[in-house]
Structure 1
Amino acid sequence: MAIHKLQIDDFITVDFELIAIHSALEDYRLAYFINSALGIMLERCENGIGIKVKDGETSFSRYDYEDADGCAWSLIQNKDKVISQHDGPASLFGEEEMKVVTNVHLLPEFKKVDYILKIENIPCNTEVDEIVESLLEIKHIATAYPVEHSKIKSKNNLIF
């Protein structure tokens, strides 16, 4: 009897592109400017992307749009803060509660990136560089660039 081996790498296909965006804008304003520049209709999802860390839970905001060709666009917040309360040491004035703020990142290997634009099922005739050029024309975006899949260690955070 023949033995058939399946390699896990046989099932892994990269069918999405990622664009890193550096901007100080709030997520809803950035989504508006991206909609205007790219001609898409990103809308806020009710459920964000939840991640548990040792200090608590956080939820990253997400804006989605799917066009007629089946191409799915997602604008995802990469930075958020978790506020946890710890009992501090007893002081002269009694015990105090301390609030500790921890920065959390969806993709920890890209800590300086503010937002990530994920494009799934992108048509073959669409160039990512053209999308990046359109994003760079938005004056509120400091920089934008494509992200190589080989540099991402926390790919599981992008499954939603």
Structure 2
Amino acid sequence: MAIHKLDIGEFDEIDYSLIAIHTSLEDYRLAYFINQKLHVNLNKSKKEIQITVKEGEAHFSRFHYYEMKKDVSWDLIQNKNEVIQQQNENNQSLFSNVNIEVATKVYMLPEFKKVDYFLKIENSENDLNIVKLQNTLNTIDNIATIYLVDTNKIKSKNNLIF
């Protein structure tokens, strides 16, 4: 009888590229421009990325495209969002017993707080030229900067598993 062993290191392998995007564009407009420039078909995913943080539940929008010919998966992910918490004020004033809504900024990858969106490209071994892709994305108006993220320096890698 054959024994098949799995090494934990096999599961720790990173098989995606992550591009950080700084822009003032809304997510749907950015997806539209990326679709035009890169000839992909990013669509709004019904499955938003849900992350539990100490402030509460955070939902991040996601645009997804799966390229069957090359077996490449594209995801445009929002990095910044707000969690609204209800706080009850019990003090003796004119506005006593008033519920106050407090909005707190939450980040998908907290170590990259200035990044607005991430473009995650999975299974893109040698087919994709990242430098050419970055140059093409830099031609989109209202994008301030784009750069490749070193995936080994990401502390919250688990947030990218979806």
TM-score of the superposed pair, with normalisation by structure 2: 0.91
Computed over aligned residues only, the root mean square deviation of the Cα atoms, in angstroms, reads 1.6
TM-score of the superposed pair, with normalisation by structure 1: 0.92
Is the partner of 1:119 in helix, strand or coil?
A: strand
Residues 14-53 of structure 1 aligned to structure 2 (within 5 Å): 14-53=14-53
Sequence identity, in percent?
49
Which has the larger displacement, 27-36 or 82-91? 82-91
Q: Where does structure 1 lack aligned partners over 5 or more consecutive residues?
A: none
Partner of 1:12: 12
Residues in 2 aligned to 1:96 and 1:108: alpha-carbon distance in whole angstroms? 32
Distance 1:69 1:6, change over 3 A: closer
Return the offset for 1:40.
0.4
Return the offset for 1:6.
6.3
Residues in 1 aligned to 2:104 and 2:137: alpha-carbon distance in whole angstroms? 30
Distance 1:50 1:11, change over 3 A: closer
Partner of 2:73: 72
Is the partner of 1:122 in helix, strand or coil?
A: coil
Residues in 2 aligned to 1:123 and 1:152: alpha-carbon distance in whole angstroms? 20
Out of 134, 139, 142, which is 2:141 matched to? 139
Matched, 1:109 2:111: yes
**Count of aligned residue pairs for this structure pair:** 157
Q: Where does structure 2 lack aligned partners over 5 or more consecutive residues?
A: none
Return the offset for 1:8.
2.3
Residues in 1 aligned to 2:81 and 2:24: alpha-carbon distance in whole angstroms? 13
Question: Is the CA contact 1:90–1:96 (under 8 Å) kept in the aligned structure 2?
Answer: no
Residues 71-110 of structure 1 aligned to structure 2 (within 5 Å): 71-93=72-94, 94-110=96-112
Partner of 1:148: 150
Out of 126, 129, 132, which is 1:127 matched to? 129
Residues in 1 aligned to 2:51 and 2:108: alpha-carbon distance in whole angstroms? 8
Paired amino acid for 2:144? A
Return the offset for 1:105.
0.5
Is the partner of 1:66 in helix, strand or coil?
A: strand
Q: Deviations over 1:68-111 (max 9, x none)?
A: 21110000000000010101131421222221111110001101
